Structures are given as structure tokens and as C-alpha cells.
Homo-oligomer: A and B are copies of this chain.
Amino acid sequence: MSKPKILIQFDSDAHASVFDAVVAVDSGIDHLLQYGSIEPAQVRDLVHGAMFTRGPQDLHQTAIFIGGSNVSQGEELLRHVKKCFFGPMRVSVLLDANGANTTAAAAVIAASRHLKLSETTATVLAATGPVGQRVARLLAGLGATVKLGSRSLERAEEAVKTLQERLPTAKLAALQTANATEIAEALEGSQLVIAAGAAGIELLPAEVRATAGALQVAIDLNAVPPVGIAGIEAGDKAKERGGQICYGALGVGGTKMKIHRAALQKLFTANNFALDAEEVLQIGQELETA
């Protein structure tokens, strides 16, 4: 009989997320160990406790989830977790701080239902944030030409530089999208726009979207009014609006939740997964074709 499934929740916020905990339960784990206020220096002893308590044949029944509202802190926790591993002594780990990986994957998968992404030009608005960077990274990885838009050209260029180092052959461009004219220019020739901004910021005005001639698919990842793309509603799911196929945050949310649960379940199938953006996307793609 196999050992119970134990998920260890590392969260950089004061209290470990209820959201992530409920999804963990619904993915079928047996025991959840919640750790809030986790700092990188505290990771080692806790991870060793995961590595050294079960035999090699049972290590896949222990796994780590890294959450928290701060994605860069989550990334740092992931680095510290990975540093503890050596040889076969390791457990699987999923990073989904602020839901960034599952959200980005769900957005890209929504787009892939309507566009051949390897032949698509995409504009990502608020592309320098944690979700935006992941959306751009995943699109570029699939062969899309990606324009990264930001209110600050400097930050957009920095994000492009980081991404280009990761994906040397990616077709990327940095654009300032601080006003309607600049946003309209950023959309020229793009079949896809994904808005990945913070809550309550309108990134794409209605009149700009209306005049974006090449645009076929518009995806907004902000659920809190005002939405990021004017005219889209949070619940839109492949809803046609003015000749464009539209998705709102809740319309993408169902796919996101399925990916989140499936990624957690995958953790318990081997002890050597480290699931970040690309791996989470692949899980989502497998769900689409299943």
C-alpha cells in the first residue's frame, strides 16, 4: 500500500493561502502541511524533512507547492528548494505564486484554440509583471512573435533582454504602451492581445481595440473592474465581440483551475518534477487534447 500523499505548502505571505489549500485538497492529497511567512533561509531544514523521511520508492508521495502573492519571492523559494536536492534525493515541486504559472498557461491555451501560435504575432500588455512575463515567455516558446508592452519602455526592454537570454531565437520586441496612440501602434499586425495588468487598470481602451484591424483574439486576465480590456466581461469565454474572440478572467479561470489541479496531481507521479511556467503549460496542453 502506498504512503499517504503529503503536500507541503510554502507561502511567503503571513498566512498560507486558503485558495491554494482548497485546490490542493481537491486534487486528492491526503495531508496538507501549511507554512506561511516562509523565508528562503528557512527552506533548507523543511525540505530536508521532506527528503529524508521516506524511502526512494515513496518519495513521490511527498511534494512541495510554492505559493504566495509575491511571484519573485516564490521564484527565490523555488531556487532554494532546488538547491537542497542531490541525486535521487529530491521531491517534486510546483511553483504557482500568485497563480502566475497556471494563469499564464490558461491564457496561452485559450489563444491556441483559435490561432496557430507559431504563426501568430502577439501583443502582451503589462508584459513586465509576473503574469505578463510568463505569458510572453510561453508564447515565444511556442514560436509566436511577441511584442512586450509596458508603460515604461525601459522596463519593457529589460523584460525582452531577460527573455531573449532564455530563448535566444525568440522573436521579441519592446514597446512603450503608455497612451492610446502607443497602444494602437503596439497592436498593429497583432492577431492576439493578452492584457496581464494589475487589478483595476484599463490597459486597452474600447476605441483602440475597435480599430485594431489584425486583431482576432483578445484575452483579459484581470477580474476586478474596471477590466483591463474595455468591452470584455470577466465571464467571457470565446465570446465574439466586434469581430474578435474575447476571453475574460473568469472565462479563462475554469481552464486555470483544471491546470492547477492536474499540476498538483502530476507532482505525485514521480519525485523529480520541478514545475514552472513551461511544464505547467505542457500539463495544460495535455488536458486540452485529452
A83 interface hit (Cβ, 8 Å):
no
Q: Which of A1-9, A124-132, A236-244 lies at the interface with chain B?
A: A1-9
Interface 0/1 of A20-44, CB less than 8 Å to B: 1111011000111111011000100
- Is the pair A15, B53 in contact by a Cβ cutoff of 8 Å? no
Most B CB atoms within 10 A — which of A22, A32, A34, A257? A22
Contact status B48-A22, CB under 8 Å: no
Pick from B3, B4, B49, B69: contact of A18, CB under 8 Å: B49
The reply to whether B4 and A19 form a contact with Cβ atoms under 8 Å apart is no
> Is A246 positioned at the interface, with any CB of B under 8 Å from its CB?
no
Complex: A32 Cα to B32 Cα, angstroms: 9
Query: What is the CA–CA distance of A42 and B21 in the complex, to the nearest angstrom?
Result: 16
Q: A4-B25, A31-B25, A32-B31 are in contact. Are A50 and B15 (CB under 8 A)?
A: no
In the complex the two chains form, is A21's CB within 8 Å of B33's CB?
Answer: yes
Q: Judge whether A14 is part of the interface by a CB distance below 8 angstroms.
A: yes
The binding surface of chain A is classed by DSSP as mixed
- In the complex, chain B residues whose CB is within 8 Å of the CB of A8: 18
B32 lies within 8 A of A49 (CB): no
- Interface code A31-73, partner B: CB below 8 Å = 1, 0 otherwise? 1111101100010011111101110000000100000010000
Is A133's beta carbon under 8 Å from chain B? no
A17 located at the interface, meaning its Cβ lies under 8 Å from any Cβ of chain B in the complex: yes
A52 touches B21 (CB 8 A): no
- Verify A18–B54 contact, CB threshold 8 A: no
Give A contacts to B, CB under 8 Å: 3-4, 6, 8, 13-15, 17-23, 25-26, 30-35, 37-38, 42, 45-50, 52-54, 62, 69, 257
Give every chain B residue within 8 A of A21 (Cβ-Cβ): 6, 31, 33, 49
Complex: A207 Cα to B18 Cα, angstroms: 54
Contact A53 B34 (CB under 8 A): no
Cβ B54 vs Cβ A38 within 8 A: no
Q: Find the B residue at minimum CB distance from A30.
A: B25
**Assembled-state Cα–Cα distance A14/B18 (Å):** 18
The reply to whether B42 and A25 form a contact with Cβ atoms under 8 Å apart is no
Rounded to whole Å, the gap between the CB of A73 and the closest CB of chain B is: 16
B23 touches A53 (CB 8 A): yes
Closest to A26 in B: B3
- Pick from A4, A19, A38, A257 the residue with the most CB of B within 10 Å: A19
| Contact (Cβ within 8 A) A47 B26 | no
Report chain B residues within 8 Å CB of A45: 13, 17-18, 69
- Taking a contact as CB atoms closer than 8 A, the residue among B14, B17, B33 that contacts A49 in the complex is B17
Q: State how many angstroms separate the Cβ of A63 from the closest Cβ of chain B.
A: 11
